[in-house]
Structure 1
Amino acid sequence: MSESEPARPTPSAERFPAPLSVTSRLHSDPAPDIEAAHADADAFWLAQARRFEWTREPSVGLSGAAPDFQWFADGETNVTLSALDRHARGEARTRAAFIWLSETGEEQVLTYGMLHGRVEQAAAGLRALGVGVGDRVVVYMPLTPEGCIAMLACARLGAVHSVVYAGLGVGALRDRIVDAGARVVITADVGYRRGKLVDLYSVAAEAIAELPEVEHLVLWERIKTFSREHDARTVAWESLFEHGRAAAVPVGAEHPLFILYTSGSTGKPKGVIHTHGGYTVGTAYHLEQLFDVRAGDVFFCTSDIGWIVGHSYIVYGPLSAGATVLFREGAPDFPDPGVLWRSIEKYGVDVLFTAPTTLRLFMKLGAEVLKPHDLSRLRVIACAGEALNPEAWRWAQEHVGGGLGEGAHGRVIDHWWQTELGGPTLGTHPRWPVRPGFAGPALAGVELGVVDEDGHDVPDGTQGQLVIRRPFPSMMRGIHGNPAKYAEVWTTNPAGYLSGDLALRDKHGYISILGRADDVLSVAGHRIGSADVEDALVSHPAVAEAAVIGIPDELKGQSIVAHVILRATHTDSPGLRASITEHIRRELGPIATPGEVVVVSGLPKTRSGKIMRRVLRAQALGEDPGDLTTLEG
């Protein structure tokens, strides 16, 4: 079908109102903010900005026009003033900022006072190495407090950090070091993943071997017996803490905070730039208002600092809000499937942020894994990364949130954003009715639309391109070294920022993300979103997760191939595959019926959980899959 024709109904047209047993536990209410932002978005965001620490308070909100816009342009700050200094000066000094767990059972707790001191010292050590305002530092560290301290120390000096996921290979790391123009690389000897040691130092040393522009390789040695020949530029992590303490360097609100390379699920990674001012305001705001986190809450984020979620909701957002953030190095089901849920129970987690992939993993394993654990303190379970399909939402709401109606203790909510956007853009607040299969409406201060290629609004219930009409503070300010590519996202569609996602809006203003525009299937002249077919597949009782691709077909243009992971209670058979095929025919009609159903044990994903459909497509066609640097190992 064309983009102007009605899309098929989403798998669930149901609405689940928020039960009083949940809403009575919530702190935030989005209604006043939505009204205020609708009346005057600049004034709304400026009021939010003034809740943070500034060395020169801003007097303006948005200035300039996209793509060359600015937020709080006359303001001066440093993100660590809001994330650390203001808490370390007051009663929060003794509050836990970080609770960190490792796969090996190690635990580390850092209070705001302790974390502030460590960051001051690390910043002074980097300054002694010559790192200053505007210098780029690549952080190739495992998910540990030391990795977070490295990020914050760079920010404190006005240096620009670029975190590279610990585990990417030599070529991927080298490319990012070169593209960022880094003078210093910070790494560790090893990380842990599913009980195995991941050698990081050897990768980092090889990556910089022929890069004389890298002046220092800072090494944190976790395992003293894990020895190897050191690069001559190697500096001990511990030596950074011998140079006193560094005060935060004030920088303009638009000064770059970090460069983060996108996951590469649809092609070559690009370096997205975020800033000190707007990024701080936006990420902390949504942590408090959408996720309902308050100072003193225990907030568990299952992401990694190598991805935007880890930047926004392990480090900068929670610290700026004064929360206690729990994070854990390693896989969520290792050393056993109960470890995630034991941690939630032990540390009294109030709010969990995880990926639909994680929920589907446990849906596959079965609810018996969760039953021994008391999850009743959880009041919000937020998901993002891939679309949260209705079946996974139902399963999680029943088994993690405590039920579908009154008596539930928590609320499973979906929301949508991107590396480029810094923080949530649309979502379902835990006070609002949930529409399974819909991420939710636009959040306060966000103006978006579902439009055709000419920028015209499409009717409700119709597939179109998701665009953001007006910049908001946490959006990226550029793509490092590629201003033309950055300008494209604002100029390709006349309506505004082109997200690259296809979506539809219902009569309530809720938006369903149908998949990437380049993942659209074209079967016999009909355009079908890959997410549509995948949602229908996982509604089959045997299917835990699915990914579909289109391959060339002489008659239909494309034929659909469905790759499915079965639940633990089912085994592959010709009869089961026929049942799945018939289920799709019944749910979506003949045009969406897969030409082939392939049962697999896993799907190619980035380490942030996004399915790399182009890898499946390349495998099916015998083609080069392109950049695989972020493929999960």
Structure 2
Amino acid sequence: MSEFEAAWIPDEESMKNTRLYQWMKSLGFDHYDEFHRQSIQDIEWLWEQAVSVLGVEWYKEYDQVLDLSKGIQYPEWFTGGEINVAHNALDKWADDPTTQHKTALYWEGDNEERVSLSYKELQQEVDAFAHGLEQLGIEQGDIITLYMPMIKETLIAMLAVSKIGAIICPIFSGYKADAIATRVSASGSRVLITADGFYRRGKTVKMKQEADEAAKQCRNLEHIVVVRRTSEEIPWNKEKDISYHSLLKENKPYSPKAMKANDEFMLIYTSGTTGKPKGVLHTHSGFPIKAAFDAGIGMDLKKEDTIFWYTDMGWMMGPFLVYGGLLNGASIVMFEGTPDYKTPDRLWKMVDYYNVTHLGISPTLIRSMMKHGTDWINNHDLSSLQLIASTGEPWNPEPWKWLFKHVGRSKVPIFNYSGGTEISGGILGNVLVRPIQPVTFNAPLPGMDIDVYDENGCSLADEVGELVLKQPWVGMTKGFLNDDQRYRDTYWNRYEDIWVHGDWVAVDQDGYYTITGRSDDVLNVAGKRLGPAEVESVLVGHEAVTEAGVIGVPHDVKGEEPVSFVVLNHDVEPTEALMVELKEYLIYKLGKALAPRKVFAVSDLPKTRNAKVMRRAIKAAYLNQPAGDLSALENSYTLKEIQNIGTTQLSKK
């Protein structure tokens, strides 16, 4: 049995009004377990039904749903079909008189500047930029790198690149020159689209300078297209630099190129544990359909809804927001700023102002908002919220309960959502036809044939093991760009024809799943496996602690020992007595054998801008070892503090 009781139970009327239930019912199913069983027994049936219920439109109908002639590692979906993601995300709605004036995009800047575009208005801007890209010499199959903040031109560029049949490569807006150059060079990108800068917490973040430094390292780069966001003075290379607005001269319709279903439309890099990022390839009939399916059928996003995910376009949840939202005909909110600037209620203010129905956050973001208290929430009408979605990392119970009680008024379901860039969306979720517990996931999503394996490939129940997938799914990556061996080594080298996802998971007898962390983060303490999230949840449960990060370090006797880092509440002093209290608290909760004996207070934990704690960065700093790719790190100054702690500990030995 799970340690949690159900916090949210769907009433019969609301359950029967969900898209998932109505779809299941139309296919002859009353219960989710029966439906999911059928969805993995016949995956071709499932995904054919999925594209039908989503209303996906084809230029040419496919001949076959799934071709596995190249092996399970290389599925080809909807073979013979022709499609374009820009048509399904934009033109389909813009050309329909009943939807063309509906808002496609709400945008808000750091300075509270606001813009909205209808589907028709967005189409006109996308078409103009598509013509401009063609005049620039961009051809089908070319890779275009997008180094952009969350502004409206970012969305316009993404859709325009797809329209002309090129491949978009969105990268993190906070990257410095070397990280940009690594990705531009590896992809062979001919064009980099960027901005002069953007605003963050009232200050200007310069982008063009980083782009120029990166360009010096990239022989393949021919053009830098620049959007003027801040209008500050920037260096200008007449031979290479092109104004974004100079490419918008042709104001006439542009017909999207008919692409084969398995043609690539997006290359998105993920940071690896080594210095070499992984270039993940996605197709026109892959990522967009999986994102739209999870958002529409899983999260119950409908045409009349508005979805806002706090994200960056270089993280997969950025494209998820775009395609998950627009393929369902909903409105999306893009936000340049930060959730607690200029005031701590910025996030709740936006939910209120835009009548957001679906809000996407991360656990770390909520932990950071908790310190501001609940009065800021109570100042706003959040009654539009129908669902809060959470992804990025495992939850701790206290922040989950805080969010559910104070933001969701104990009525709004929290859709825990876990998958990855290579998945195009989720593996596990909280489907709205089953009760939801804190922290856990209540089901695998439709079509995701999952299991939990031990080291010998045997299924586990009520024990922690490797999360695996036994069949392919729509949205599964086409592989890593120019690195097939790494793709196979990453996901396929543990068990024969089984995808090993890298998450450490347990499932209880009631079918609730708990993720305890990445399997490469899991500690082995004297032969006992311990997920860092288990220890972090205990620490965050203490009234003095706001955040926690736990790593495993070598130990002569135990093999590994856990070391904890905590961020304390702003009014709490890191006294020696408090550290002793926290250690005793850990022993009380975890037992002496597993409880960390080292607990250190730090000012902050190293995080990405998407608020994911980077444990490997903590470990590398503490042990004074190379950390690999840290280009997505938002607050690198935290590493020096951790490194100093590690150096002090080493000197005591």
1-structure distance, mates of 2:439, 2:15: 25
**Residue 52 (structure 1) aligns with:** 56
CA deviation after TM superposition for structure 1 residue 231, in Å: 5.6
**Is the partner of 1:212 in helix, strand or coil?**
coil
Name which of 318, 324, 332 aligns with 1:317: 324
- Superposed CA deviations along residues 77-114 of structure 1, whole A, max 9, x for unmatched, are 00011101110111111000000001111000010001
Q: Are 1:236 and 2:237 counterparts?
A: no
Alpha-carbon contact 1:279-1:474 (below 8 Å) kept: yes
| Residue 297 of structure 1: aligned partner | 305
How far does the alpha carbon of each residue in 1:479-517 deviate from its partner, in whole angstroms, 9 at most, with x for none? 011011112212322361110111111112221111111
In 1: Cα distance, 2:448 partner to 2:627 partner: 36
Cα deviation for residue 254 of structure 1 reads: 0.4
The structural deviation recorded for 1:524 is 2.3
Question: Shift of the alpha carbon at 1:320?
Answer: 0.7
Indicate the residue corresponding to 1:71 in structure 2. 77
Q: Which moved more, 1:296-305 or 1:176-185?
A: 296-305
CA contact (8 A) 2:94 2:120 kept: yes
Instruction: Give the Cα–Cα distance (whole angstroms) in 2 for the partners of residues 76 and 534 of structure 1.
Output: 48
Q: 1:173-572, aligned counterparts within 5 Å?
A: 173-230=180-237, 232-243=239-250, 244-264=252-272, 268-313=276-321, 315-403=322-410, 408=411, 410-458=412-460, 460-488=461-489, 489-494=491-496, 496-568=498-570, 570-572=572-574
Distance 1:176 1:216 in 2: 15
Question: Which residue number corresponds to residue 648 of structure 2?
Answer: none
Give the whole-Å Cα distance in 1 for the aligned partners of 2:566 and 2:262.
45
Residues 112-142 of structure 1: CA distance to partner in whole angstroms, max 9, x if unpaired? 0011111111111001111111101101111
Q: Distance in 2 between matches of 1:565 and 1:267?
A: 28
1:619 aligns with 2:610: no
Q: Which amino acid aligns with 2:589?
A: E
Q: 1:267 Cα shift?
A: 5.7
AA aligned to 2:14 is: T
Alpha carbons 1:141, 1:166 under 8 Å: kept: yes
The 2-side partners of 1:575 and 1:413 are apart by 39
Of 13, 16, 25, which residue of structure 1 is paired with 2:7?
16
Does the CA-based 8 Å contact 1:521-1:527 persist in structure 2? yes
Q: State the Cα RMSD in Å.
A: 1.9
Give TM-score, length-normalised by structure 1.
0.94
Is 1:166 equivalent to 2:166 in the alignment? no
Secondary structure at 1:80's aligned position in 2? helix
* Contiguous gaps of at least 5 residues in structure 1: 1-8
Query: Are residues 210 and 418 of structure 1, via their aligned partners in 2, closer, same or farther at CA, if it must alter by over 3 Å?
Result: closer
Report the TM-score, using the length of structure 2 for normalisation: 0.91
Indicate conservation of the 8 Å contact 1:300/1:327, yes or no.
Answer: yes
- Equivalent residues of 1:264, 1:630 under 8 A apart: no
Q: Distance in 2 between matches of 1:390 and 1:564?
A: 16
* Alpha-carbon separation, structure 2, partners of 1:336 and 1:265: 36
Partner Cα separation in structure 1 for residue 409 and residue 324 of structure 2:
27
Q: CA deviation at 1:259?
A: 0.5
The alignment status of 1:89 with 2:95, answered yes or no, reads yes
Distance 2:276 2:375 in 1: 41
Q: Kindly state the Cα deviation for residue 193 of structure 1 after the two structures are TM-superposed.
A: 1.7
The Cα of 1:553 is off from its aligned counterpart by 2.5
Deviation at 1:57, TM superposition (A): 1.6
Is contact 1:66–1:490 with CA below 8 Å preserved after alignment? Answer: no
Stretches of structure 2 that go unaligned for 5 or more consecutive residues are 30-34, 636-653
Counterpart Cα distance in 1 of 2:498 and 2:508? 21
- Whole-angstrom distance in 2 between the partners of 1:412 and 1:401: 8
Query: Residues 567 and 371 from structure 1, CA distance in 2 versus in 1: closer, same or farther, beyond 3 angstroms?
Result: farther
Of 65-74 and 264-273, deviating more is 264-273
Deviation by residue 1:169-193 (Cα, 9 ceiling, x = unmatched) = 1000000001111011111100122
Residue type matched to 1:190 in 2? G
2 CA distance for matches of 1:229 and 1:619? 38
Check whether the contact 1:415–1:440 (CA below 8 A) recurs between aligned residues.
no
Tell me how far apart the structure 1 counterparts of residues 271 and 627 of structure 2 sit (CA, whole Å).
15
Change (3 A) 1:484 1:470: same
Q: Can you list the C-alpha shifts for 1:29-56, whole angstroms capped at 9, x where unaligned?
A: 3554536524532112112223211101
Deviation, 1:227, is 3.0
Amino acid at match of 1:305: M
* Distance in structure 2 (CA, Å) of the matches to 1:44 and 1:507: 26
**Structure 2 Cα separation of the partners of residues 261 and 451 of structure 1:** 28
Code of the aligned partner of 1:73: T
- The superposition leaves residues 329-368 of structure 1 with CA deviations (integer Å, 9 ceiling, x where unpaired) of 1111111111111111111111111111111111232222
* Superposed displacement of residue 213, structure 1: 2.0
Q: Any idea what SS the aligned residue of 1:417 has?
A: strand
C-alpha change, 1:535 and 1:494, in structure 2 (3 Å) is farther
Report the secondary structure of 2:153's partner residue. Answer: helix
Q: 1:28 aligns with which of 19, 22, 26?
A: 19
Other structure's SS at 1:472 match: coil
Looking at structure 1, the residues matched to 364 and 582 of structure 2 have their Cα atoms a distance apart, in angstroms, of 21
Give the C-alpha shift of residue 568 in structure 1. 4.0
Measure the CA separation in 2 of the matches of 1:393 and 1:312.
23
Correspondence for 2:642: none
Conserved in 2, the CA contact under 8 Å of 1:135 and 1:159?
Answer: yes
2:15–2:433 Cα contact (<8 Å) kept: no
Larger RCO (CA under 8 A, 6+ residues apart): 1
TM-superposed CA distance for 1:245, in Å, is 4.0
Q: Which moved more, 1:271-280 or 1:360-369?
A: 360-369
Partners of 2:149 and 2:336 within 8 A in 1: yes
SS of 1:586's partner is: helix
- Give 1:25 shift: 9.6
Q: Is the 8 A contact 1:273 1:480 kept in 2?
A: yes
Percent pairwise identity? 34
Q: CA deviation at 1:537?
A: 1.6
Q: Distance in 1 between matches of 2:535 and 2:17?
A: 35
Q: By how many angstroms is 1:273 displaced?
A: 0.5
Aligned length: 617
**1:140 maps to 2:147:** yes
CA distance in 2, matches of 1:149, 1:395: 37
The alignment status of 1:62 with 2:66, answered yes or no, reads yes
C-alpha displacement of 1:625: 2.1
The alpha carbon displacement at 1:371 in A equals: 1.5
Give 1:253 deviation, angstroms: 0.6
Equivalent pair of 2:413/2:436 in contact (CA under 8 Å): no
CA–CA separation in structure 2 for the residues paired with 1:156 and 1:67: 28
- Structure 2 distance, partners of 1:178, 1:393, is 41
Q: Distance in 1 between matches of 2:371 and 2:587?
A: 24
Q: Aligned with 2:584: secondary structure? A: helix
Q: Secondary structure at the match of 1:352?
A: strand
Q: Is the 8 A contact 1:133 1:157 kept in 2?
A: yes
Aligned mates of 1:196, 1:25 — CA distance in 2: 48
The separation in 1 between residues aligned to 2:386 and 2:72, in whole angstroms, is 38
